[in-house]
């Protein structure tokens, strides 16, 4: 129990660490999202910032500049006597203004070209698309390239589609010029690395869930294995404990059988032989329990012989079957690759269950064991154990091989699960409930692959 609690503590600690990592990654993604938005706001501010000086240069012939603070104003606003001090709205005092040299049309176009190239170079360094639109949503600049009157209509439609895609990715940023004038919107995408990181919380969450499921399965497997190992240890210890008195009983029976006076009492002689057979049977059972958990030795086995020996043992002991008829039907002569002791154990379990089902039924009980080919290929052999007992309710058909399930009062529910494991894991066969009708009886089927000379095992 201490080991289980320690494992549970470590699992809880690991889960908390994973959840902490998940929270940190989610927080990091949100911070990156905010950082990306701030960066794009910077781009928008830059674009808005260059619009006013560009329009100012484009629309003016020349400027007058304050010699004190550098404040500029259109040339036509100055009086003719430029040497006369005038009021400067920036200095808030009377100062002199000087006239700057004029920019001709070519110079103004060059300023426009340089500003646009600077902006285009800035945008092209970004690993995602950026689109500026006016207040109506019409594209103005796409990835640093201005949209003018000569842009084809199909390109405009493609730009609008791109704007719709970017709008689904991020909320557009409004662009404001000097004085709070709204110039339009900036639409932008996400960095590919950001998209990858954005998936990390979901991947980590899936990883946490997967680890949790694997941990639960591992713990269930560990507990199941511990239970199985405890049963294995219990079975082996039981076999060890009963082997000594069984050997002693066998010795006493041998001495009794060698006594000449025993021949004069037929009933006593028959009793000794029957007890000797029972003790040998107990030795076989002890041998089975002693080998639980170990891989059995496999060899060619005569199926009909195993069936006949098991049926004969039960039919010759009325005290064991309580007046119920146990008989063998058709038995085909065929071999399988298996272990005769384990196959006999499976048949014993099935016959015992059938006898128990008949003992609580009405009328004379009858158990029949047959062995035949299930199809014309004759690659498989089927053993059927049928009874006319109380049967099994339909809702319980799926539980008959579950450990702990039993229709008998005080039953442990281990016989059928062990039998199924012997047949399917060790003999590559199949054990199934073929049919069961309440009040009419039950039939179990054991299907085993036939041993052929081709596989070298017969």
- The tally of CA atoms less than 13 A away on the side-chain side of residue 152 is 3
In a domain, 407, yes or no: yes
In a domain, 409, yes or no: yes
In a domain, 116, yes or no: yes
Using alpha carbons, list the distances in angstroms from residue 145 to 119, 175, 233, 234, 316: 9, 18, 81, 83, 102
User: Looking at residue 170, what is its pLDDT?
Assistant: 84
Using alpha carbons, list the distances in angstroms from residue 86 to 2, 91, 114, 259: 93, 11, 35, 150
Strand, helix or coil for residue 431:
strand
73-110 in b/e form (b: 16+ CB < 10 A) is: bebeebeeeeeeebebeeeeeebebeeeeebeeeebee
User: Looking at residue 78, what is its pLDDT?
Assistant: 43
> Distance between CA atoms of 209 and 186, rounded to whole angstroms?
40
Number of C-beta neighbours around residue 400 at 10 A: 20
In a domain, 372, yes or no: yes
Strand, helix or coil for residue 245:
helix
**Same domain? 442 vs 390:** yes
In a domain, 25, yes or no: no
In a domain, 89, yes or no: yes
**Same domain? 83 vs 42:** no
**Same domain? 137 vs 66:** no
Closest CA to 444 of 372, 382, 398, 377: 382
**Same domain? 145 vs 72:** no
Q: Which of 189, 209, 233 is the last residue of a domain?
A: 189
Q: Which of 44, 77, 101 is the last residue of a domain?
A: 101
* CB contact at 8 A, 342 and 422: yes
In a domain, 413, yes or no: yes
**Same domain? 171 vs 310:** no
> Distance between CA atoms of 205 and 212, rounded to whole angstroms?
10
Q: Give the predicted TM-score (pTM) of the model.
A: 0.48
Using alpha carbons, list the distances in angstroms from residue 430 to 346, 423, 434, 449: 12, 6, 11, 9
* Maximum CA extent, the chain: 161
**Same domain? 83 vs 173:** no
**Same domain? 333 vs 418:** yes
**Same domain? 74 vs 114:** no
Q: Which of 101, 131, 155 is the last residue of a domain?
A: 101
**Same domain? 37 vs 138:** yes
Would you list the DSSP string of 339-383? -HHHHHHHHHHHHHHHHHHHHTSSS--EEEEEEE-SSTT-SEEEE
* CB contact at 8 A, 77 and 62: no
* CB contact at 8 A, 39 and 127: no
**Same domain? 395 vs 442:** yes
**Same domain? 180 vs 86:** no
**Same domain? 424 vs 381:** yes
| Tens-digit pLDDT string for the chain (458 aa) | 445 566 667 777 777 777 777 777 777 777 777 767 767 666 666 666 555 555 555 554 566 777 777 777 666 544 444 566 777 888 777 777 766 655 556 666 666 666 667 667 677 767 778 888 888 888 888 887 778 777 888 888 898 999 898 888 888 888 776 667 777 888 888 777 666 676 776 777 777 777 777 777 777 776 666 666 655 666 666 666 676 676 777 777 777 777 777 667 777 777 777 777 777 777 776 766 666 666 777 889 999 999 998 898 888 776 667 778 889 988 998 999 988 888 988 998 899 889 888 876 667 889 999 999 988 888 999 999 999 988 888 888 888 888 776 766 656 667 788 888 889 988 999 999 999 988 889 999 999 999 876 655 56
Residue 379, domain CATH = 3.30.565.10
Q: How many domains does the chain have?
A: 3
- Give the residue numbers spanning the domain of 156: 31-55+103-189
- Cα torsion through 289, 295, 300, 305, rounded to 10: 20
In a domain, 184, yes or no: yes
């Amino acid at each position: 129990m201490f080991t289980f609690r320690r494992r549970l503590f470590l699992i809880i600690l690991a889960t908390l660490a994973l959840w902490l990592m998940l929270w940190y990654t989610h927080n990091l993604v949100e911070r990156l999202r905010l950082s990306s938005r701030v960066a794009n706001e910077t781009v928008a501010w830059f674009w808005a910032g260059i619009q006013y000086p560009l329009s100012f240069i484009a629309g003016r012939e020349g400027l007058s500049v304050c010699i004190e603070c550098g404040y500029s104003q259109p040339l036509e606003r100055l009086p003719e006597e430029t040497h006369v001090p005038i009021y400067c709205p920036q200095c808030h005092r009377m100062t002199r203004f000087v006239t700057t040299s004029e920019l001709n049309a070519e110079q103004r176009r060059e300023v426009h070209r340089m500003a646009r190239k600077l902006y285009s170079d800035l945008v092209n360094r970004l690993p995602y698309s950026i689109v500026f639109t006016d207040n109506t949503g019409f594209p103005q600049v796409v990835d640093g390239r201005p949209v003018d009157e000569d842009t084809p209509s199909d390109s405009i439609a493609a730009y609008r589609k791109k704007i719709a895609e970017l709008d689904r990715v991020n909320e557009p940023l409004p662009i404001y010029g000097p004085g709070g004038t709204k110039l339009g919107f900036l639409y932008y995408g996400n960095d590919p690395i950001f998209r990858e990181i954005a998936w990390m919380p979901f991947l980590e969450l899936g990883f946490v869930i997967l680890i949790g499921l694997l941990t639960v399965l591992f713990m269930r497997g560990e507990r199941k294995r511990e239970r199985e190992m405890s049963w294995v240890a219990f079975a082996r210890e039981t076999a060890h404990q009963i082997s000594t008195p069984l050997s002693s009983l066998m010795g006493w029976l041998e001495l009794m059988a060698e006594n000449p006076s025993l021949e004069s009492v037929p009933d006593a002689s028959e009793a000794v032989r029957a007890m000797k057979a029972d003790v040998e049977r107990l030795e076989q059972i002890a041998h089975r329990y002693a080998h639980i958990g170990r891989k059995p030795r496999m060899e060619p086995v005569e199926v009909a012989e195993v069936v006949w020996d098991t049926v004969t043992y039960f039919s010759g002991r009325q005290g064991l079957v309580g007046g119920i008829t146990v008989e063998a039907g058709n038995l085909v002569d065929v071999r399988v690759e298996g272990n005769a002791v384990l196959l006999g154990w499976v048949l014993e379990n099935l016959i015992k269950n059938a006898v128990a089902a008949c003992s609580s039924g009405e009328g004379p009980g009858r158990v029949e064991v047959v062995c035949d080919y299930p199809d014309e290929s004759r690659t498989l052999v089927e053993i059927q154990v049928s009874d006319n007992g109380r049967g099994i309710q339909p809702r319980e058909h799926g539980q008959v091989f579950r450990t702990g399930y039993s229709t008998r009062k005080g039953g442990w529910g281990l016989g059928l699960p062990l039998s199924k494991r012997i047949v399917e894991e060790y003999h590559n066969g199949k054990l199934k409930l073929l049919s069961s009708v309440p009040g009419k009886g039950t039939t179990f089927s054991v299907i085993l692959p036939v041993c052929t000379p081709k596989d070298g095992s017969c």
